[in-house]
Structure 1
Amino acid sequence: MKRIKIDRNRCIGCLTCTTACIVSHNCADNRSRITMSSSGRYAPIFCRHCDKPECVYTCMTGAMSKNQETGIVGYDKSRCASCFMCIMACPYGVLKADSENSKEIMKCDMCQHTESGRPQCVERCPMSAITLEEV
């Protein structure tokens, strides 16, 4: 299973990762699926696609699910009840309500929809601070 990792010593806080995410997902409201840490200096915080994801366990409709093959925690907006239990349950604070459609959740989907199938934050980081690693 692969996860996005960041080397905070290499990150310069340029926000290229957030721009790449916005462009990749065609977000009209310029909202990224990446959460930024504001403690000290800006640095991205990514969905960990946890082994035992609390967001999945608290989701009463099955809108949040973990693909056992890829390890990716996915979101199916058609099944979402907009209760936001997943947002409250996430220990990393990376899930958020979509401001354009307040009944939907924004979360990292590892850019599976792109031609490369690789996260665009990884592809576009000018400092190579963001990597995709096998865990």
Structure 2
Amino acid sequence: MKRIKIDRKKCIGCLTCTTACIVSHGSEDTRSRIAINSEGRYSPIFCRHCDRPECVYTCMTGAMRRDNESGLVLYDKSRCASCFMCIMACPYGVLKMDHLNNREVMKCDMCRETESGYPQCVAKCPMAAITLEEVDEI
């Protein structure tokens, strides 16, 4: 399965990845699905699409689920009860509440539903600090 990785030594904190995320999800969505760590300098934090995702285990409606075929943790807003247990349960702090769109959860979807179908944060990183790599499932 593929995961987004970042080489923090190459990252210059330009936030091009966040802009690419916003643009790839359309003009109506003005917020990035990438969390930002500001400890000393800005750098992105990506959903790890965990093998044992706490966000999925705490979701009482099934809005968060792990797709066993792709290994991705997916969000179905039509099933979401807006309890935000998934946000509280994520040990990496990458899930966010979208205040603009009916209190939905925002998370990385690897640009699956976009025109390109390829993570734009990876495609647009000017320093090639963000890569899409094959990882083994535990």
| TM-score (structure 1 length as normaliser) | 0.96
Aligned residues: percent identity? 77
Q: Structure 1 residue 72: deviation in Å?
A: 0.6
Q: How does 1:10-89 map to 2 (within 5 A)?
A: 10-26=10-26, 28=28, 30-89=30-89
Greater displacement, 22-31 / 101-110: 22-31
Cα distance, 1:27 vs. partner? 5.1
TM-score by length of 2: 0.94
Distance 2:115 2:98 in 1: 24
State the partner residue of 1:98. 98
Q: Distance in 1 between matches of 2:50 and 2:88?
A: 15
**Match of residue 113 from structure 2:** 113
Aligned AA (1:4): I
Size of the aligned set, in residue pairs, is 135
Cα distance between partner residues in 2 of 1:114 and 1:29: 12
Moved over 4 A (4+): none
Specify the code of the residue in structure 1 equivalent to 2:37. S
Is there any run of 5+ residues in structure 1 with no aligned partner, and where? none
The one-letter amino acid of 1:114's match is T
Letter of the aligned partner of 1:116 in structure 2?
S
Please tell me the residue identity of whatever aligns with 1:133: E
